[in-house]
Amino acid sequence: MSEYKKQLPDITSIDKPFWEGAKRHELMAYTCLNCETFYSQATDCVACDNPRMGWVKVSGKGEVYTFGIYHQLYHPAWKEDIPYNVAWIKLDEGPLLMSNIVECKNEDIHVGMPVEVIFDDVTEEVTLPKFKPVK
Amino acid sequence: MHLYGLTRRQLGSVAITLREYANKRPEAVMYERKLTMDDYLNARMIVEPLCLFDCCLVNDGAVALIITSAERASNCKKPPVYVMGYGTDHSVREIGRSPQAYMHWDGFITQKAGENAFRMAGVTLKDVDVAELYDAFTPFLLSQLESYGICGIGEAGPFVEEGNLRLDGAFPSNTSGTELSWSYLQGFSHLTEGIRQMRGEAEECQVKDAEICMVTGLGPPSPGSTATCCILRR
């Protein structure tokens, strides 16, 4: 497991529940506990003016909202992976999440493609949520 | 591309239009360095669908602006350029909240930035003689053409391909080649050229009798996009 050479998230108190959930193989999203409007970060809900925010487990199902194929090498650890994809996933519950599409050729990825989460345990501490096509 | 059928040739026409302006400006990084559609279509990909020529230059450079009162400026050697209005907005509050924040991700914020700038200036888009729109990447320019209402939603690709950003087009823009071909100085690329247009100093790229110039800035949608709009008058 210590062989993993790519960048790892710098986990802080703000996003810790997300990464703890991933380690349990549960996809977590940050939401207003009153009206269920999702955010990436917020101290208050601007939709219903409520300060009760928290993390909830989501289904892990969604679709490709948009994507790009990286040909430029930005970090040496990715040398064997280029060209690799980076996609915005629109989860069924609404929020957007950036990740990679796996178990799919780059040329087969398309906007609107149904996907579901898989969990890649890259180190003992870190699990990365990635997405694969729904067959 | 997915929503409106934008083509790579249309993205290429943005890069080429701006390169043609820069080719005429001796101080431009891309002075006399031509770019053809073949060059564009055969360039290496950076992040597909964007290739090398969709991305701005990376270069050093410097600009200094002197901002003062109209009264003091009236005694200076160079003719003053007046700031008639400005506006700004950001979308940090929308991030992660809804896909609509990304679809036309700059639409909400450019609308407010533009409305405030034009209201303060007391002019409308129809009064603009020349524009310098933020162009870190070719799609930035296209999205602003649509979201500021310069052309219709989904029409920016054909609008540029038809030559409307050229000196003889409907909306001459980015007349030095700006960040894609002149010099990457962030928003100062656009302000500098806007000021030169208002002073009649834009050499071969001068828009004849230009009196009103629109200058914009735009930040990407992560962690939150920012738009600025400024109206200059000679």
Q: What are the pLDDT digits (tens) for A23-73?
A: 999 999 998 899 888 877 777 887 788 888 999 999 999 999 999 999 999
CB contact under 8 A, A94 and B98: yes
Residue range B105-151, pLDDT digits in tens: 556 678 889 999 999 999 999 999 999 999 999 999 998 999 899 99
Q: What is the pLDDT of residue B109?
A: 78
Query: CB-based contact (8 Å) between A135 and chain B?
Result: no
Indicate which of A18, A28, A30, A40 best probes the interface with B, i.e. most B CBs within 10 Å of its own CB: A40
* B170 pLDDT higher than 90: yes
CB contact under 8 A, B97 and A95: yes
pLDDT confidence tier of residue A84, bands split at 50, 70 and 90: very high
Among B191, B225, B202, B189, CA closest to B86: B191
A126 three-class SS: coil
- In the structure encoding, which two tokens stand for residue B58, read together? 């990376």
Q: What is the pLDDT of residue B50?
A: 97
Q: What is the pLDDT of residue A130?
A: 98
* B224 pLDDT higher than 80: no
pLDDT confidence tier of residue B222, bands split at 50, 70 and 90: low
Q: What is the pLDDT of residue B95?
A: 57
Sign, CA dihedral B180-B182-B185-B186, equals negative
B82 annotated active-site: no
Q: How far apart are CA B39 and CA B37, in angstroms?
A: 5
Q: What is the pLDDT of residue B93?
A: 61
Query: Which residue, chain included where needed, has tokens 């109206």?
Result: B231
Find the distance separating the first CA and the last CA of chain A, reported in whole Å. 29
Strands B130-132 vs B212-218: parallel, antiparallel or unpaired: parallel
Residue B122 near residue B41, CB atoms below 8 Å: no
Q: How far apart are CA B160 and CA B11, in angstroms?
A: 9
* B159 pLDDT higher than 90: yes
Q: Which chain B residues contact residue A39 at CB under 8 A?
A: 95-97
Q: What is the pLDDT of residue B105?
A: 54
Gap from B37 CA to chain A (nearest CA, Å): 21
Residue range B54-70, pLDDT digits in tens: 999 999 999 999 999 99
pLDDT > 70 in chain B, percent = 91
Q: What is the pLDDT of residue A107?
A: 97
Q: What is the pLDDT of residue B13?
A: 98
For B19-29, letters b (16+ CB in 10 Å) and e give bbbbbbbeebb
* B162 pLDDT higher than 60: yes
Delineate the domains of chain B, giving CATH numbers in brackets.
Answer: 8-233 (3.40.47.10)
Task: Enter the pTM of the model.
Answer: 0.91
* B82 pLDDT higher than 60: yes
Indicate the range of A84-93, A116-125, B214-223 predicted with least confidence: B214-223
Q: Which chain B residues contact residue A40 at CB under 8 A?
A: 95-96, 223
Q: Which chain A residues contact residue B11 at CB under 8 A?
A: none
Residue B86 near residue B116, CB atoms below 8 Å: yes
Residue B145 near residue B160, CB atoms below 8 Å: yes
Give every CB contact of residue A73 below 8 A, 6+ residues apart in sequence.
A79, A82
pLDDT confidence tier of residue A96, bands split at 50, 70 and 90: confident
- In the structure encoding, which two tokens stand for residue B203, read together? 């050499």
Q: What is the pLDDT of residue B94?
A: 62
Burial class (CB in 10 A: 0-12, 13-18, 19+), A1: exposed
List chain A domain ranges.
16-133
pLDDT confidence tier of residue B96, bands split at 50, 70 and 90: low
Residues 49-108, chain A, touching B (beta carbon < 8 A): 65-66, 68-72, 83, 86, 88, 90, 94-96
pLDDT confidence tier of residue B164, bands split at 50, 70 and 90: very high
pLDDT confidence tier of residue B158, bands split at 50, 70 and 90: very high
Strands A61-70 vs A114-121: parallel, antiparallel or unpaired: antiparallel
Mean pLDDT is highest, among B6-15, B88-97, B101-110, B222-231, for: B6-15
Residues of chain B in Cβ contact (below 8 Å) with chain A: 2, 44-50, 93, 95-99, 102, 223
Q: Which of B21, B40, B134, B148 is catalytic?
A: B134
Q: Which of B21, B40, B148, B184 is catalytic?
A: B184
A108 three-class SS: helix
Q: What is the pLDDT of residue A51?
A: 87
